[in-house]
Amino acid sequence: MAESSNNNQEPSVITWAIKVASSAGLAAILCCVAPAILFMFGLMGGVYAISFADFFYNEDGSAAAGAWALRAAAVVIGAYGVYRFRKQQDQCSIDPKRKRNNLILVTLITVVLAVGIYLSLEKWSSWYFDKHIVPAQQEELFGPSSE
């Protein structure tokens, strides 16, 4: 009986948006975060981490098809999360005006948090690559520097 009353409970706007935004933001920058984390734990060398990330970017540093595919996947994840929130919310008997406001709120929170997570992780991964992975790559390719 507790389960049936649980199914009609209104989903939490903030919790839902944080979960969806985290998934979308991480999916959008997976190309850089994954090799950085694998390198951090010693599961990948500098050369392989750079080559993994290079797959997603052009020579000039602009996004290639792989990066755009991840960003498109992030948009799909975000849109699906908002859609599922709407469907979950439609099962509840709450005021239609409140439903609309909740949907707008979850959409805005999801977009802002997802973009914020993406930009934060992009900044962090750029710093981490420059500070740790690129020097490791140079050492792997050319040996220890004589400085």
What pLDDT does 7 receive? 55
Enclosing domain of residue 74: 13-129
| Residue 7 belongs to some domain of the structure | no
From CA 125, how far away is CA 27, in angstroms rounded? 14
Rounded percentage of the chain residues whose pLDDT exceeds 90? 63
How confident is residue 19, by pLDDT bands cut at 50, 70 and 90?
very high
Instruction: At 1, list the tokens.
Output: 């009986």
User: 57 forms bridges with which residues in the sheet?
Assistant: 63
What pLDDT does 145 receive? 64
What pLDDT does 60 receive? 85
Residue 45: count of CB within 10 angstroms of its CB: 16
| Residue 68 belongs to some domain of the structure | yes
Nearest to 53 by CA among 109, 143, 129, 147: 129
| Residue 3 belongs to some domain of the structure | no
Contacts 24+ apart (CB under 8 A), 83-87: 85/11, 85/13, 85/16, 85/20
Q: What is the pLDDT of residues 84-133, one digit of tens each?
A: 999 988 777 778 898 899 999 999 999 999 999 999 999 999 999 999 99
| Residue 134 belongs to some domain of the structure | no
* Amino acid (one-letter) located at 97: K
| Residue 146 belongs to some domain of the structure | no
From CA 117, how far away is CA 147, in angstroms rounded? 37
CB 89 within 8 A of CB 11: yes
| Residue 26 belongs to some domain of the structure | yes
Q: How many folded domains does the chain comprise? A: 1
| Residue 42 belongs to some domain of the structure | yes
How confident is residue 10, by pLDDT bands cut at 50, 70 and 90?
confident
What distance lies between CA 34 and its chain's CA centroid? 11
Query: For residues 5 and 18, which has the higher predicted lDDT (pLDDT)?
Result: 18
What pLDDT does 3 receive? 42
Q: What is the mean pLDDT of the chain?
A: 88
Query: For residues 70 and 92, which has the higher predicted lDDT (pLDDT)?
Result: 70
From CA 96, how far away is CA 113, in angstroms rounded? 25
